[in-house]
């Protein structure tokens, strides 16, 4: 299993770090954090953003940290852990990521111990891991969301009284939580059941609405927010459009073969990942295909081969790359349109972490949106919602937990969990302190299922709108970096000179295309970024970005939409301003 179990006298380490005086904040706490970072972890300096977030953690405040890949997000919990009075629970989505996180901890008797509890451990090693946490020999416990869906795990965790609950790769709460891995949306209940320790959520990419969803879904209380810049100026952004699928395949293979290595190619399906890997291998490259259908041992082998440099290229579905700690990745190529710009930015962020030039190329066909829209339309159906609502209602005198509901309905674990999440979202059911599911008083099973189905439809509209934003990025004629950063709510005034739609030299051709200083439509002044608006059809929303002749708005119930400023200027009442940035709500 590799490094999934490393213990030390965590209690002794913590006592030395705390000086037996308990956690401290303020100037003394900052100095102690720097000292621990240097003495235990070997980090001579901490970024101001890291240090500030660490101080929030020590003060017991719920915190969301959005920092680029490779910027040291893990340090935000690793260093303060040695000044906390109990173990730190780290929810991590992939077993390979858990293994790497533990292996990355320092050695020596001053280092904190760590264990991972997952489905690959036998009974004896699982018991040994729990005992290490109970004795204080392991300061970190790594778990998957699926582990925390088990009542036994939650009960044992509550008994060791965790001092901090960390959700790593927190964007998964939004991108995977509704359908693919709905146990992410049960983490709020897990936090409450283990004693409600402070919550720290970490992610490398989260647009403003995703940040909001993360904090709400995790039940974070008055969360502190640390967001650093999203721009990765060393990554060249490029999109190549194709009419013919064979032309696209040929172009991608040629590009992956000729660019400096190592690199990652992202494909939409398992079949495509195997196809491209075989094509590259036939050219003499050390290419590997990676997807969730492989055995765990094979996935671990490919993961290790890439990290060690034995593999030139990994062709993968989205299952690969999360937590990859490799600085010299020179390119990330996408074989088709991603499901969202959130996912795209996360994936291209795995190249160029050393600060040197790197390349991100999207190979796009208009037909790609059909597949991504199909994926976005998946979800709990009305029949599933009705069946689960009926089961919850039938057990109102003796409420059942998720495991019992799965047994009684005969539905898969994911389907039951996704249905309960939707029913809970519309307040048709509630989860008790022991994990039992209670029906809401006065709400019939039919009403509950109908309300949950409407919520599911709203999620599908939002997911489809994210696909449309990815398509708009692929088809924009303006600066791609400006478009991409605008999606994340970060203004970028000038064109970047490092994407395929910008002319790096600023020559006459680039000026003719309008890729020098962008000139905004006069109506843009009416809708600055952050303005709250109401559309006559789509309801209320917030302006996320402006791109010369258009603005992008995220509507509360209709998702992302790009609107023409010319159309807004000529149609009175189409988009009404409710509140501008900085304007007091009482003034509107």
Average pLDDT, 10 consecutive residues per value, the chain (588 residues): 52 48 56 91 91 95 88 90 93 78 76 83 87 90 89 92 94 69 87 95 84 91 91 94 96 97 95 96 97 88 92 91 82 94 90 94 88 56 92 92 91 89 92 89 94 88 85 89 86 84 54 52 85 91 82 84 90 89 58
The pLDDT of residue 519 is 67
The pLDDT of residue 271 is 95
The pLDDT of residue 509 is 46
The residues facing 563 across adjacent strands are 551
Q: Which residues of 32-67 are buried (b: 16+ CB within 10 A; e: fewer)?
A: bbbebbeebbebeebeebbbbbbbbbbbebbbbbbb
Q: Are 470 and 348 in contact (CB under 8 A)?
A: no
Nearest 5 degrees, angle CA 119-CA 413-CA 410?
Answer: 130
Residue given tokens 């204080």 in the structure block: 136
The pLDDT of residue 514 is 44
The residues facing 430 across adjacent strands are 438
| CA proximity to 111, closest of 3, 20, 4, 16 | 16
The pLDDT of residue 508 is 40
Q: What is the largest CA-CA distance in the chain?
A: 76
The pLDDT of residue 448 is 94
The pLDDT of residue 22 is 42
| CA proximity to 329, closest of 345, 313, 305 | 313
Give the whole-angstrom CA distance, residue 60 versus residue 199: 8
Measured from the Cβ of residue 266, the count of other Cβ atoms closer than 10 Å reads 26
Give me the DSSP letters along 76-134.
HHHHHHTTSSS-EEEE-S-HHHHHHHHHTS--STTSPPEEEE-TTS-HHHHHHHHHHHH
The pLDDT of residue 46 is 92
- Order of strands across the sheet that contains 224-227: 5-6, 114-117, 140-143, 88-91, 164-167, 199-203, 63-66, 224-227
Name the strand (E) or helix (H) holding 70.
Answer: none
Give the C-alpha distances (Å, rounded to integers) separating 452 from 383, 418, 422.
Answer: 11, 10, 5
- pTM here? 0.81
């Amino acid at each position: 299993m590799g490094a999934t179990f490393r213990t030390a006298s965590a209690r002794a380490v913590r006592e030395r770090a705390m000086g037996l005086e308990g956690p401290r904040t303020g100037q003394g706490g900052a100095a102690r954090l720097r000292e621990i970072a240097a003495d235990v972890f070997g980090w001579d300096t901490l970024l101001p953003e890291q240090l500030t977030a660490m101080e929030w953690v020590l003060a017991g405040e719920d915190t969301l940290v959005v920092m680029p890949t490779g910027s040291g997000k893990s340090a935000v919990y690793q260093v303060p852990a040695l000044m906390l009075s109990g173990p730190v629970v780290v929810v991590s989505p992939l077993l390979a990521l858990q293994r790497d996180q533990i292996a990355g901890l320092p050695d020596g008797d001053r280092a904190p111990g760590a264990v991972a509890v997952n489905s690959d451990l036998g009974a004896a090693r699982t018991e040994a891991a729990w005992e290490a946490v109970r004795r204080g020999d392991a300061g970190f416990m790594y778990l998957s969301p699926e582990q925390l869906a088990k009542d036994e795990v939650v009960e044992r965790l509550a008994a060791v009284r965790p001092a901090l609950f960390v959700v790593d790769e927190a964007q998964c709460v939004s991108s995977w939580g509704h359908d693919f891995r709905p146990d992410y949306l049960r983490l709020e209940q897990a936090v409450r059941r283990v004693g409600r320790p402070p919550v720290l959520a970490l992610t490398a990419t989260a647009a403003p609405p995703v940040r909001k969803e993360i904090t709400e879904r995790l039940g974070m209380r008055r969360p502190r927010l640390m967001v650093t810049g999203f721009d990765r100026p060393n990554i060249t952004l490029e999109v190549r459009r194709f009419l013919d699928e064979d032309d696209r395949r040929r172009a991608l293979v040629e590009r992956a073969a000729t660019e400096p290595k190592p690199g990652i190619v992202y494909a939409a399906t398992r079949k495509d990942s195997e196809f491209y890997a075989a094509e590259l291998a036939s050219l003499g490259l050390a290419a590997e295909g990676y997807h969730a259908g492989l055995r765990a041992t094979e996935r671990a082998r490919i993961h290790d081969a890439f990290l060690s440099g034995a593999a030139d290229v990994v062709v993968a579905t989205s299952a690969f790359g999360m937590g990859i700690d490799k600085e010299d990745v020179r390119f990330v190529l996408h074989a088709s349109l991603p499901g969202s710009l959130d996912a795209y930015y996360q994936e291209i962020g795995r190249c160029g972490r050393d600060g040197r030039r790197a390349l991100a190329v999207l190979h796009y066909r208009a037909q790609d949106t059909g597949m991504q829209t199909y994926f976005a339309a998946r979800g709990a159906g009305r029949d599933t919602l009705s069946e689960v609502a009926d089961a919850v209602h039938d057990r109102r005198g003796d409420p059942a937990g998720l495991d019992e509901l799965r047994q009684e309905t005969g539905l898969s674990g994911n389907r039951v969990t996704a249905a309960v999440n939707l029913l809970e979202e519309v307040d048709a059911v509630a989860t008790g302190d022991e994990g039992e599911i209670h029906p809401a008083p006065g709400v019939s099973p039919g009403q509950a299922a109908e309300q949950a189905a409407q919520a599911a439809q709203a999620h599908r509209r939002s997911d489809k709108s994210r696909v449309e934003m990815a398509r708009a990025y692929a088809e924009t004629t303006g600066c791609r970096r400006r478009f991409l950063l605008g999606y994340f709510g970060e203004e970028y005034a000038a064109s970047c000179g490092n994407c395929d739609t910008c002319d790096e030299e600023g020559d006459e051709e680039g000026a003719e295309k309008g890729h020098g200083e962008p000139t905004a439509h006069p109506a843009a002044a009416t809708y600055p970024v952050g303005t709250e608006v109401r559309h006559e059809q789509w309801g209320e929303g917030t302006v996320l970005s402006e791109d010369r002749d258009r603005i992008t708005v995220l509507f509360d119930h209709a998702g992302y939409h790009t609107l023409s400023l010319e159309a807004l200027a000529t149609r009175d009442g189409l988009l009404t301003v409710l509140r501008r940035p900085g304007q007091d709500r009482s003034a509107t």
